């Protein structure tokens, strides 16, 4: 999606949970936003390569510890974002939509609309994405433990 937006498409750009002034700059194709979309598209490509590296035999070319750190960090970050620890997410959107946390008065309708989009589209997406990253990290860590040679301990006498 960020690649499409970097190339000029406005796919879901109007549903991005941004303050109105930033949202207008995004839709007007401000050079900062175009550049950020190129950076994010590049990061997505790198992420695909890293995700594949956790599963493919050529992972040995990359430091395993680095793959573990990246997978777990991205997984925890994305799950935190989906839950709402970073401002948006299931908790923040629910609080806003139920009126527990009032939206900004000057943008109440827009805030509610974006909260619905975030609650129904973006937060589940980030939860699934984060769960996938943590599963990849967990699997990579378990595979590492299974393939590491065991250091023999002191010899034990045979049972009698």
CA distances from 107 to 28, 102, 112, 116, 120 (A): 19, 11, 9, 14, 20
How far apart CA 127 and CA 80 sit, in angstroms, is 8
Distance (Å, whole) CA 133 – CA 144: 16
pLDDT at 77: 93
User: DSSP state, 102?
Assistant: P
pLDDT at 55: 79
Q: Tell me the pLDDT band of 14, cut-offs 50, 70 and 90.
A: confident
d(CA 45, CA 68) in angstroms, rounded, equals: 18
- The segment with the largest mean pLDDT, out of 6-15, 83-92, 117-126, is 117-126
Distances (CA, A) of 102 to 90, 106, 110, 111, 127: 16, 11, 12, 10, 25
Average the pLDDT over 69-84 and give the result: 93
Q: How large is the C-alpha radius of gyration of the chain?
A: 22
Predicted TM-score (pTM) of this structure = 0.74
Mean pLDDT of the chain: 84
- What's phi and psi for 41, nearest 5 deg? -65, -40
Contact between residue 96 and residue 103 where contact means Cβ atoms under 8 Å apart:
yes
């Amino acid at each position: 999606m960020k690649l499409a937006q970097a190339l000029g498409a406005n796919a879901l750009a109007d549903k991005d949970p941004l303050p109105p002034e930033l949202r207008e700059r995004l839709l007007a194709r401000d050079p900062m936003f175009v550049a950020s979309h190129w950076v994010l598209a590049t990061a997505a490509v790198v992420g695909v390569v890293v995700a594949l590296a956790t599963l493919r035999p050529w992972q040995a070319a990359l430091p395993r510890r680095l793959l573990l750190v990246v997978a777990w960090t991205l997984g925890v970050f994305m799950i935190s974002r989906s839950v709402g620890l970073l401002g948006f997410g299931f908790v923040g959107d629910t609080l806003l939509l139920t009126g527990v946390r009032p939206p900004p008065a000057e943008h109440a309708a827009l805030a509610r609309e974006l909260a619905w989009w975030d609650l129904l589209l973006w937060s589940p997406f980030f939860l699934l994405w984060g769960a996938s990253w943590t599963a990849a990290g967990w699997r990579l860590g378990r595979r590492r433990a299974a393939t590491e040679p065991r250091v023999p301990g002191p010899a034990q006498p045979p049972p009698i």
